[in-house]
Structure formats: C-alpha cells, structure tokens
Copies of this chain bind each other. A is one copy, B any other.
Amino acid sequence: MKRLVLKFGGSSVGTIDKIKKVANIVKKKVSEGNQIIVVVSAMEGVTNDLKKKSDLISKDFDNKELDVLLSSGEQVSCSLLSGALLNLGIKARSWLGWQVPIITNTNHTSSQIMKIKTEEILDFISNKGVAVIAGFQGISKEIRITTLGRGGSDLSAVAIAKFFKTDSCEIYTDVEGVLTTDPAINKNAKKIDKISYEEMLEMSSLGAKVMQPNAVQASMIDNIPIHVKSTFSEKSGTKIISESDIDHKNAVTGVAYAKNNAKVSIVGVVDKPGVAADVFEPLGKNNINIDMVIQNTSLDGKKANITFTIKREDLDKTLDLIEKDKEKLNYNKITHDDKLAKVSIIGAGMISNPGVTYKMFRSLADEKINILAISTSEIKISVLIKEDLTQKAVKTLHKTFGLN
C-alpha cells in the first residue's frame, strides 16, 4: 500500500468527459490498494475567464477579492470530480483550501504555503476515502482565501506530498511527459525518461510549459520525486528526481525557447559606479523582470552602453520609466527591438562535457542565425535571436546535440 498524490491539471479536467476519465484513473489506483489524495486545477480556460471578468471591472482589481474570485475555479472542478468518484461507488470528498486548511501567508495572488493540517484527511484516506483537494488555493491567518499564483496547483501537490509524507507525487497533464523540446515546432521532440530537478527548473524557466518553475523548485528543496504522466495514455512519463540518481549519457537534455522577448539598449550612459543600479532600480520596483544584461564600455572609457532583455509585454512601461529618468541617467539615446526569442540548451551533462558552448554557436552560425546576447549557467546556455528564427534554431540544436 502506498500513499499517493495525483495532481490533474486544467487540460485533464477540461470537460465532463475528461473528469469522468480522471475518476476512472483514480478508481484504478484505489483498486490497487493505495491511499489517494487528488489535487485538481480549474477546468481549462476557467481561470483566464474569471481573470478577464475582473479586468473588465478594473485592471487594478483588489487582490484579496481576486483570490475569492479565482479560487472558485478549483471549487467547481474538485466538487465535480468528487461527485464523479462517488458515482463510481468510491468513497470520496472534496476539500477546499480553507477546509483542509492549507495555511498560507497573506501575500494575496502569490501566497506561500506555510502549513497544511493533515489529521482529518489522513483519517479519511486511512478509511479508504479519496480526498479531492482544490489546488491553487489556501487560507490566510486573517481567514481570507488566498491563491498561490501561476502553477499554483503544482505547488499545492508538492506541498501536500511533503506534509502528508506521500510515497509519490504524480502530475497528470495532456502530454506524455517532459519532452526534449516543444513538439509544436519540432516533430522530432522525444520524451525524457528522467530529468534532474535542476534541469527541469531550467527547462521550465526557459519556456517548457509542463510544470511551473516555482513548483519544480519546491520539489527540489524538499526532495519530492515528481512523476509527470499523461492523463490520456498509459505511457510511463517522466521522473523528476535528484541529479545523483541520473546517469547522463548526453551533454544536453533538452532545448527550450521563449518567444516574446524584447531587448532595450541604453546608449552612452556615463560609465561610473552605480549606473546599472540607477537603471534597474526603478524597473525592479515596477515588477519588471530583467533577464539578460550586457554592459559594454566605449573606447574612450567614459561612456557605456547597457543592453538588457525583458518580456515584450513590459516594453512600453520600461521605455517610459527610462525616459522619465533621462536627466539622472544622462544617456544619449535608447534603442529597442521587440521581436526576439531566447533559445536555450539545458543539460546537467554539459558540466563534464567541455565544448558544448562552441558546438552550440557553430551550429547556429552554420544556419546563419545571428546571436544577439548570451547567458549561461552551469547547466544551460541561452542565446537571444530574432524571433522568426526560433524554429530553425531549435531544430538545429536538437539535432546537433543528439536528441533527434
């Protein structure tokens, strides 16, 4: 007998038929003698629809009320799934975040889970009941509903796996696991059997959508093994586990990309200590995430150019903020390009494989793809390129590093 967390994403519970399908997967796990806790996301599209409604009232819609609004999505899916299980003759019950309770801090719309009470649910699952917990939501000490932000249901599943000391945390989704790259732009994408937390963290941060980075990070911190599987096939999926449990055959595990990048260059700022801080402080205060940064000194050593990348959606705000500070920053001009993409290769194996960097750049050069910026870590190399070359770049890198 094992204790399992099964998490079903929005695409897995997107229709009533899919909810029935999920109920049957759960039934099978029950019949195998397991103790089951299910975590569900809102039905596909629901959270976005609710968000749109709040936007129609105000773009500055109150965060606390937004959490009340958005949490209704998981309330619907978890009651429907509980009802479907009961209909199959399985003892089941829904728990909303406040009922468990899943206690979070008061950081509305992106709360952190502090504690999960386990007694009531442990009692229920010990007596052959399936606990169906609404993902994405919790309750603050002020007895207000909170939500965990993007990827929140994955975070719920990982935290539940931790507090309930489960043997496994299975993340069900609409793909068969973590793939070497996006099959939508490269049909040679292949499923990865095992991937380390660190690699998965880079993959998801750099564009792979199967699991949100903060959920991967949470599983890494508490060493919770994750098993990503398809709701709609019996295939074995991908295990996200410790680096030490993986035998890397390839230098590169996957190729990720993110479109909708923009690059801003501030040309001719005075090259003195603190200038970078002066540029980035107002951006940080306005929640604009800076990704890559390049600082070039001019030949005479007195003026510098600062180039950085951001999400395209933040471009207008960024340009406004920098123009407002023109006097203080004392630069010559700003240039920008908003049709860029970041393509990355990820692999823990590259630590012990020198030459990966060279091979990547050569492979792109052979395809006449110009590199506009580079950023690296121990287990990934990202390059900024023109957006319309994304597919070409992904395909050539996927082939170069033996992933086809």
Q: Which residues of B are found within 8 Å of A94, using beta-carbon distances? A: 65, 68
Residue A277 is within 8 A (CB to CB) of chain B in the complex? no
Knowing A62-B83, A83-B69, A86-B62, say if A56 contacts B96 (CB, 8 Å): no
A94 to chain B, nearest CB (A): 5
Let me know if A328 is at the binding interface, CB within 8 A: no
- The contact of A66 among B20, B66, B79, by CB within 8 Å, is B79
- Chain A count of residues within 8 A CB distance of the other chain: 36
Interface code A71-87, partner B: CB below 8 Å = 1, 0 otherwise?
A: 11001101110111011
Would you call A83 and B96 a contact (CB within 8 A)? no
- The reply on A98 being an interface residue by CB < 8 A is yes
How many copies are assembled?
Answer: 2
Would you call A72 and B69 a contact (CB within 8 A)? no
Contact across chains for A80 and B99 when beta carbons are under 8 A apart: no
* Pairwise interchain contact A80-B54, C-beta atoms closer than 8 A: yes
Interface string of A22-56 (1 = CB under 8 A from B): 00000000000000000000000000001001101
B residues near A78, Cβ cutoff 8 Å: 68
Residues on B with C-beta less than 8 A from A84 are 57-58
Q: Report the minimum CB–CB distance from A118 to chain B (whole Å).
A: 16
- A281 lies within 8 A of chain B by Cβ: no
The closest CB in chain B to the CB of A52 belongs to B16
Q: Are B99 and A83 in contact (CB under 8 A)?
A: no
Inside 8 A of A76's CB, which chain B residues have their CB? 50, 53, 69, 72
Q: Does A361 contact B (CB under 8 A)?
A: no
Docked complex Cα distance between A225 and B269 (Å): 72
Q: Are B56 and A83 in contact (CB under 8 A)?
A: no
Cβ A68 vs Cβ B57 within 8 A: no
Q: Return chain B residues, CB-CB under 8 Å to A93.
A: 64-65
Q: A19 touching B57 by the CB < 8 A rule?
A: yes
Q: With a CB–CB cut-off of 8 A, which chain B residues contact A19?
A: 57
Distance in Å from the Cβ of A110 to the closest Cβ of chain B?
17
Task: Tell me the bound Cα distance from A93 to B19 in angstroms.
Answer: 33
Asked whether A79 lies within 8 Å of B83 as measured between CB atoms, the reply is no
Which single member of B20, B60, B72 contacts A75 (CB below 8 Å)? B72
Q: A53-B16, A87-B58 are in contact. Are A79 and B96 (CB under 8 A)?
A: no
- In the complex, besides A16-B57, A58-B87, A68-B79, 14 extra interface pairs with C-beta distance below 8 angstroms are A19-B57, A53-B76, A53-B80, A57-B83, A57-B84, A58-B83, A62-B87, A66-B79, A68-B82, A68-B94, A69-B75, A69-B80, A71-B75, A98-B98
* Interchain residue pairs with CB less than 8 A apart (8): A16-B57, A57-B87, A58-B83, A58-B87, A65-B80, A65-B82, A65-B83, A69-B83
Give 4 closest A-B pairs by Cβ, nearest first: A68-B79, A69-B79, A72-B72, A65-B83
What residues of chain A have their CB less than 8 Å away from a CB belonging to chain B?
16, 19-20, 50, 53-54, 56-58, 60-62, 64-66, 68-69, 71-72, 75-76, 78-80, 82-84, 86-87, 93-94, 96, 98-99, 143, 145
